[in-house]
Amino acid sequence: MLTFDHVSKRYPDAGDALQNVSFYLAPGEMAFLTGHSGAGKSTLLKLIAMMEKCSRGHIILAGKNLNRVSERQIPYIRRQLGLIFQDYKLLLDRTVFDNVALPLVVSGYHHHEIGRRVRAALDKVGLLGQEKKYPLALSGGEQQRVGIARAVVNKPRLILADEPTGNLDPELSEEVMHLFEQFQQVGVTVLIASHDIDLISRMNYRVLKLDHGQLVQEG
Amino acid sequence: MVKRQRKPQKSVIEIFKIYLLEHARVLFASLGRIMKTPFTSLMTVLVLSVTLTLAGGFYLMVKNIQQLSGSLETSNQISVFLKTKVQEREAKTLAATIKGLPEVVSVKLIGKRQAMEEFKAYSGFGDALEALDNNPLPIVLQVLPVAKSMDAAAIKRLMDKLERYPAVDFAQLDMLWVKRLQSISALLQRTVMVLNSLLAVAIIFIMGNTIRLELQNRREEVLIAKLVGATHAFVQRPFIYTGFWLGLFAGVLAWILITLVVFVLSEPVENIASLYQGQFELLFLSLTETLGLLALSALLGVLGAWAVLFYQLRQIRPA
C-alpha cells in the first residue's frame, strides 16, 4: 500500500526533517508513528499527502511513485487518502453535514449519493442526527469524530491521522482509537502519528519510531 | 483490502449534468455570499459602477457627436454675407437671381432684424446690443446647392460665382465647420478609446483587489478543500462567480446612472440643437449596447477575479 524507500526531507532553513527513512505498510495494516515532538512525524505524513515533496528517495503510494505525480494530479491522489488532524480542521461556518460532504462535493458526486454516504459515515462515528449542527456546538471529541467521518466518507484506501487524540482526554482518545480499529478491520490501511505512548502500548499494533528524523524502531 | 464497490460507469451526459448542476450551485452560493456582506459588496459595486458610468458616458458622448457631424455631412449649405449697406429690397432681387442659377436648389433670406433677434436671444449680449444705434448685422442668404454630393471643386466654382455679385461681401461654406467638427470628433473618439481602456484596466484591478481580500478571508476554507482533493478549478469557481455577480450588478447600476445623466442633460442639449435648427435627438444606449454593457462588466469582473486567482491560489500552500 505504502512504501518509503530511503526518503529524506530537508528544509532550507530548518535542516533535515527526515533522513533515509524506509518502511513498508501492507494493505489493511494499522501502524503507529511515534517519536518526540519535532522528530519528523508530521513531515512524514505531509510527504504522503503531497503537502511537501521529499528531497531524496521514493514514496510509492498504491503503486504510484509520488515523485512522478504532477501538480495537476495531486487532487486525485488526495482523494484516495483520508486525512485527520489534531485541530480537526473543520469549516466552522458550515454544518456537520456540509463538512463531511466536502470531499464528495469536491469529487463531483451526485447529491443523492452524497446524502446517502454522509449519513453512512456519520452513523459509523456515532453522530447520526447531528448533521444540522455547527461544529462549535459539539464537544472536542465529537468534532474529531466529524473530522474522521469526513476522512472516511470518500472510502479512502489509506487513513493518515496526525495526533488525532492530541486535544482529547484519555477516555475520548480510546474511543477514537477504537474507531480506527474498526476501519482497519474492514480493510483500510491506517497510519496514526501519536506521542501518546500509554495508549499505543495498550494497543497491539506495529510501531514506527522516529528520532531526529531517523527511523530507530520498526516492529 | 476493502471490497471496493466498482463505481458504476457514468455516462458522458450524466457527468455533464453533474458538472452543470455544480456550476449552478456555485453560481447561487456565491450570490448568497455576496448578500451576506451587503455593505462590502455594495461599496465594491458602487466603485465599479461609477467607473463604468464614466466609460459609458464617454461612449455616448462620442456616439452623439458622431451623429451630429454625420447628419451635417450631407449639407453643403453656403452662407452668402451681403455688404452692410445693401438693403432688404435689393437683397430680395439678388436672392431671386441666385435661385435662378442651375446649381442652386433654394435660397433663404435672413433679414437684418431676424439676424439681430437671433443674435440677441442666443449670444448673451442682448443688453449690450440694445445700446447700439443701428443694426450692424448684414443680410445673409443661405444658399443650398443642387446636388448633395457636389464635389469640392464645383462648390468652390459656385462660391466664386456668388462672390462676384457686387452686393455680396463674401460667401462661406458651412461645410468647413462640419469638417472641423468631424476632425474634433475623430480626436475625441480616439481619446475616449484610450480612456475607456484605462477604465477597463481599473475595473479589473478593483475587482482583483476585492477578490484578493475575499480569498484572504476564506484561506482556511481553500486550504481544507485542497486537502480533501479539490482541484484548482473547484477552488477558484466560487471566486470567479463572485466576480461575475459584482460585475453584473455594477453594470446594472451603471446603466441606471447613465440613464439619469442623459435625462439631466437632454434638455440643455435640445436647446443647443434648436439653435442650429438641427434635427438632433440625444441618443441613448440601444438594447444591444445595454446588453453589451452588462456582458462587458460581468466579463471584466470575471477577468479581474481570474487574474488574481491565477497568482494567489498557487501561493496558498500546500498545492
pLDDT tens string B230-252: 998 899 999 999 999 999 999 99
pLDDT in the model for residue B249: 96
Q: What are phi and psi of B311, to 5 degrees?
A: -90, -45
User: Residues A13, A68: one domain?
Assistant: yes
Burial label, A84 (beta-carbon count in 10 A; 0-12, 13-18, 19+) = buried
User: Residues A102, A148: one domain?
Assistant: yes
User: Residues A70, A24: one domain?
Assistant: yes
Contact between A155 and B2 using a beta-carbon 8 Å cutoff: yes
Does residue B149 surpass a pLDDT of 60? no
Q: Which of A155, A185, A210 is the endpoint of a domain?
A: A155
Cis peptide bond upstream of B318, omega within 30: yes
Contact between B227 and A186 using a beta-carbon 8 Å cutoff: no
Amino acid sitting at position A160? L
User: Residues A21, A126: one domain?
Assistant: no
Q: The whole model's pTM is what?
A: 0.75
Domain with A24 in it: 1-80+156-219
Contact between A91 and B221 using a beta-carbon 8 Å cutoff: yes
User: Residues A62, A41: one domain?
Assistant: yes
pLDDT in the model for residue B2: 43
User: Residues A147, A163: one domain?
Assistant: no
Q: Which domains does chain B have, with CATH numbers?
A: 24-70+181-315 (no CATH), 78-172 (3.30.70.3040)
Does residue A211 surpass a pLDDT of 70? yes
User: Residues A150, A175: one domain?
Assistant: no
Place of cell 487513513: A159
Cβ neighbours of A74 in B, within 8 Å: 319
Return the number of other C-beta atoms located less than 10 Å from residue B28's C-beta. Answer: 12
Q: Which of A105, A128, A155 is the endpoint of a domain?
A: A155
Contact between B319 and A107 using a beta-carbon 8 Å cutoff: no
User: Residues A106, A123: one domain?
Assistant: yes
pLDDT tens string B151-195: 777 778 888 888 888 888 888 877 677 677 778 888 888 999 999
Sorted by sequence, the CB contacts under 8 Å of residue B257 that are 6+ apart come out as: B49, B50, B53
Least CB-CB distance to A74: which of B2, B4, B319? B319
Asked whether residue A142 is assigned to any structural domain, the reply reads: yes
User: C-alpha distances in angstroms, B110 versus B26, B138, B140, B141, B173?
Assistant: 70, 9, 5, 6, 16
User: Residues A76, A2: one domain?
Assistant: yes
Contact between B1 and A28 using a beta-carbon 8 Å cutoff: yes
pLDDT in the model for residue B7: 52
Categorize the per-residue pLDDT at B58 as very low, low, confident or very high, splitting at 50, 70 and 90.
very high
Taking the CA atoms of A83, A87, A91 and A95 in sequence, report the sign of the dihedral they define: positive
Asked whether residue A115 is assigned to any structural domain, the reply reads: yes
Least CA distance to B318: which residue of chain A?
A51
d(CA B154, CA B143): 14
User: C-alpha distances in angstroms, B316 versus B221, B223, B225, B229?
Assistant: 11, 7, 12, 14
Return the number of other C-beta atoms located less than 10 Å from residue B312's C-beta. Answer: 18
Does residue B67 surpass a pLDDT of 80? no
Q: Which of A155, A176, A193 is the endpoint of a domain?
A: A155
DSSP helix/strand/coil, A38: coil
Contact between A150 and B229 using a beta-carbon 8 Å cutoff: no
Do residues A176 and A130 touch, judged by C-beta distance below 8 A? Answer: no
Section A103-113 average pLDDT: 88
pLDDT tens string B83-99: 888 888 888 888 888 88
Asked whether residue A54 is assigned to any structural domain, the reply reads: yes
Does residue B219 surpass a pLDDT of 80? yes
Least CB-CB distance to A75: which of B18, B220, B229? B229
User: Residues A37, A61: one domain?
Assistant: yes
Pairing status of strand B78-82 against strand B140-145: antiparallel
Return the number of other C-beta atoms located less than 10 Å from residue A110's C-beta. Answer: 14
If one counts the domains in chain A, the total is 2
Cβ-Cβ pairs closer than 8 A, A with B, add up to: 70
Cβ neighbours of A79 in B, within 8 Å: 228-229
- Count of all residues that appear for chain A in the document: 219
Asked whether residue A29 is assigned to any structural domain, the reply reads: yes
Interface list for chain B against chain A, based on CB atoms closer than 8 Å: 1-4, 15, 18-19, 21-22, 220-221, 223-231, 234, 317-319
In 3D, which of A13, A35, A2, A32 has the Cα closest to residue A212? A35
CATH number of the domain to which A193 belongs: 3.40.50.300
Asked whether residue A133 is assigned to any structural domain, the reply reads: yes
d(CA A198, CA B291): 69
Q: CB-side exposure of A1: number of CA atoms within 13 Å?
A: 22
Contact between A79 and B229 using a beta-carbon 8 Å cutoff: yes
Do residues A52 and A46 touch, judged by C-beta distance below 8 A? Answer: yes
Do residues B76 and B145 touch, judged by C-beta distance below 8 A? Answer: yes
pLDDT tens string B272-294: 777 765 566 778 888 999 999 99
User: Residues A59, A126: one domain?
Assistant: no
Least CB-CB distance to B18: which of A78, A83, A108? A108
Contact between B2 and A187 using a beta-carbon 8 Å cutoff: yes
Contact between B319 and A71 using a beta-carbon 8 Å cutoff: yes
Asked whether residue A67 is assigned to any structural domain, the reply reads: yes
Least CA distance to B21: which residue of chain A?
A110
Sorted by sequence, the CB contacts under 8 Å of residue A136 that are 6+ apart come out as: A92
User: Residues A5, A75: one domain?
Assistant: yes
pLDDT in the model for residue B3: 44
Asked whether residue A139 is assigned to any structural domain, the reply reads: yes
